[in-house]
Amino acid sequence: MLSLLAAHSLCARAQVREIDAQPGSGIYGRMVRAWGNASANPKRCQCIKVLDDQQRKTIAVGECSGSFAQFRVPLPPGHYVVEYGGRWESVGGKVRFVANRYHIIVPANQWIDLSPPAPQNPVP
């Protein structure tokens, strides 16, 4: 789960760089749960990075925009490591952002939804 500050610093429409993707498969989702007051003018920003399964090469970079920071990244079928979301850590007196990493498998002709789960109950 993202903190409110981290969620607002993430922003969704995917832009893919240096990738030979099939249009029928990839990843999509949003970075922010559907709750609270959305920003009136959300900014676009890089919010997701796709690495090879060895975590050595960047395969694609997704850009988010919209009230819920939506993204869409076409990918050929395969194994990937996806960086998105994260937390701020203090290490040696310096604060740095540490991204969450997830191992995923993209099957042929399928899109994987990486959105956080929706709230179970109404949000006050």
Residues 84 and 51: their CA atoms lie apart, in Å, by 11
In a domain, 17, yes or no: yes
**pTM, whole model, 2 decimals?**
0.67
Point out the residues of the chain with pLDDT beneath 70. Answer: 1-23, 32-42, 123-124
Give the structural domain span for 70. 4-113
| pLDDT tens, residue by residue, 100-117 | 899 999 999 999 998 887
pLDDT of the residue at 41: 66
Q: Check which CATH number belongs to the domain holding 51 and give it.
A: 2.60.40
pLDDT of residue 23: 65
pLDDT, tens only, 70-85: 889 999 999 999 998 8
Residue 123 belongs to some domain of the structure:
no
Is residue 37 domain-resident?
yes
What CA–CA distance (Å, rounded) separates 45 from 96?
18
What's the pLDDT score for residue 60?
93
What pLDDT sits at residue 51?
A: 95
pLDDT computed for residue 101 by the predictor: 92
Q: Please report the pLDDT score of residue 69 as a whole number.
A: 79
The total number of structural domains that make up the chain: 1
